[in-house]
Amino acid sequence: MEPIRVAILGFGTVGKGVYAHIKEEQQSLEQTLNRPVQVTAVLVNDESKHRDVANHVLLTTNMDDVLAQQIDIVVEAITGVESAYQYVTAAIEQGCHVVTANKAMYAARGQKLQELAEERRINVKYDASVAGGIPIIDTLNQIHQLESVHRIEAILNGTSNYILTAVAKEGLTFHEALTQATRLGYAEADPSHDIDGFDALNKAYILANLLRKDYQEITVNRRKGLDQLQLDEVLNKQTNQVLKPLVTIDATSESAIEIVVEPTWVEENHPLSSVDGVQNAIVISSDRLGSLKLEGAGAGEKPTAHAIVQDIVKTVKEDNRILV
């Protein structure tokens, strides 16, 4: 059987995780898909760093060389918007399916990519971009297909949640908590977008866009990060309340889907009050289902790699050309 040829763009936390997952689960993947999955090329930024990849894998800084490898599926796990967008566009134009973990890129350009992909009957999947190991995209898509989702409440940034939990439960200062989050590998190397709310906003935008009807806008009513919290706000604890880095998506207005990103005091019986540390969670409210909550690992090498490999499996199953 011809292998399914996968390229991985980026070989940081996520890229390495995907590489390891595919290697470790070689057999079970082949059993599931009736064809082996092979990582054929890895794209990086800095050629001089040591990379622990097998000899047959092309390691390059040149996307043209990657695409010359007859790739079936491109996994995009780099940082930043522009290069990522260009690489992914080139991949789609060449008929490759795409699986991305890059929320900044997908929030900014996801719609364009989906349009381009639809023309070419290509899949662009992005489950790993929101709440890492929680299968939120497919779940939300399926519910939304059957009935209106009117509200989402979520904790989508693990670093912020870790910090607020450590401040509240361990009595750390904000800076001690951030340092600890960085040391434990929860915060990004540059955690500024964890802290200023833009990471959560990007994820909220991706979810809102999934719910959006053609004529609706997405409006951001407020984006407040931990960095804008005043000390007295944090200390202003009410009994039975906890401060959570909340994302709210309100889809009840006909003209717009409204996003609020803001640390918020919630009652102890609020469904997100017990979500602590680096955990993420999402509560989806709709008429028939009532409220459905998903809670799990929002980031990290293994959960994120799992989500990406899940998207690879789905891509293969949905493409009869690949599946043969």
Active site residues: 203
Question: Which residues have a Cβ under 8 Å from the Cβ of 179 and sit 6 or more positions away?
Answer: none
Torsion, CA 178, CA 181, CA 186, CA 187, rounded to 10: 20
**Binders of a copy of itself among 133-152, rule CB under 8 A?**
133-135, 139, 142-143, 145-147
Instruction: State the minimum distance, in angstroms, from the CB of residue 3 to ligand NAP.
Output: 23
Contact letters for a copy of itself, residues 238-277 (x by CB under 8 A): ---------------------------------x--x---
Instruction: State the minimum distance, in angstroms, from the CB of residue 293 to a copy of itself.
Output: 4
Q: How many CA atoms lie within 13 A of 41 on its CB side?
A: 22
In angstroms, the CA 71 to CA 322 distance is 11
DSSP letter, residue 132? T
At 303, the amino acid letter reads P
Q: Closer to ligand NAP by CB, 50 or 321: give it.
A: 50
274 binds, options ligand NAP, a copy of itself, none, Cβ within 5 to 8 A by partner type:
a copy of itself
Q: Closer to a copy of itself by CB, 68 or 146: give it.
A: 146
**Binders of a copy of itself among 180-239, rule CB under 8 A?**
none
* Site residues (vs ligand NAP, CB under 6 A): 10-15, 43-46, 49, 77-80, 83, 101-103, 128-129, 132, 189, 299-300, 304
Q: Closer to a copy of itself by CB, 91 or 307: give it.
A: 307
Nearest residue to ligand NAP, using CB?
12
Instruction: State the minimum distance, in angstroms, from the CB of residue 193 to ligand NAP.
Output: 9
Angle, CA of 91, 64 and 308, to the nearest 5°: 40
- Single out the residue of 247, 264, 287, 274 nearest to residue 130, CA to CA: 247
CB-CB contact of 62 with 68 (8 Å): no
Residue with tokens 């607020």: 164
299 binds, options a copy of itself, ligand NAP, none, Cβ within 5 to 8 A by partner type:
ligand NAP
158 binds, options ligand NAP, a copy of itself, none, Cβ within 5 to 8 A by partner type:
none
239 binds, options ligand NAP, a copy of itself, none, Cβ within 5 to 8 A by partner type:
none
- Single out the residue of 264, 279, 100 nearest to residue 186, CA to CA: 279
CB-CB contact of 148 with 196 (8 Å): no
Residue with tokens 């001089």: 48
In angstroms, the CA 265 to CA 148 distance is 27
In SS3 terms, 260-301 reads as EEEEEEEECCCCCCCCCCCEEEEEEEECCCEEEEEEEECCCH
**Binders of a copy of itself among 286-305, rule CB under 8 A?**
287-297, 302-303, 305
Neighbours of 58 (CB within 10 A): 16
Neighbours of 154 (CB within 10 A): 30
Instruction: State the minimum distance, in angstroms, from the CB of residue 190 to ligand NAP.
Output: 9
User: With CB under 8 A, what is the number of residues at the site for a copy of itself?
Assistant: 34
Instruction: State the minimum distance, in angstroms, from the CB of residue 32 to a copy of itself.
Output: 5
**Binders of a copy of itself among 10-39, rule CB under 8 A?**
21, 25, 28-29, 32
Instruction: State the minimum distance, in angstroms, from the CB of residue 85 to a copy of itself.
Output: 28
Residue with tokens 């959960």: 303
Per rule CB under 8 A, is residue 95 in the interface with a copy of itself?
Answer: no
Torsion, CA 31, CA 32, CA 33, CA 35, rounded to 10: -10
- State the residues that interact with a copy of itself by CB under 8 A: 21, 25, 28-29, 32, 133-135, 139, 142-143, 145-147, 271, 274, 287-297, 302-303, 305-306, 309-310, 313
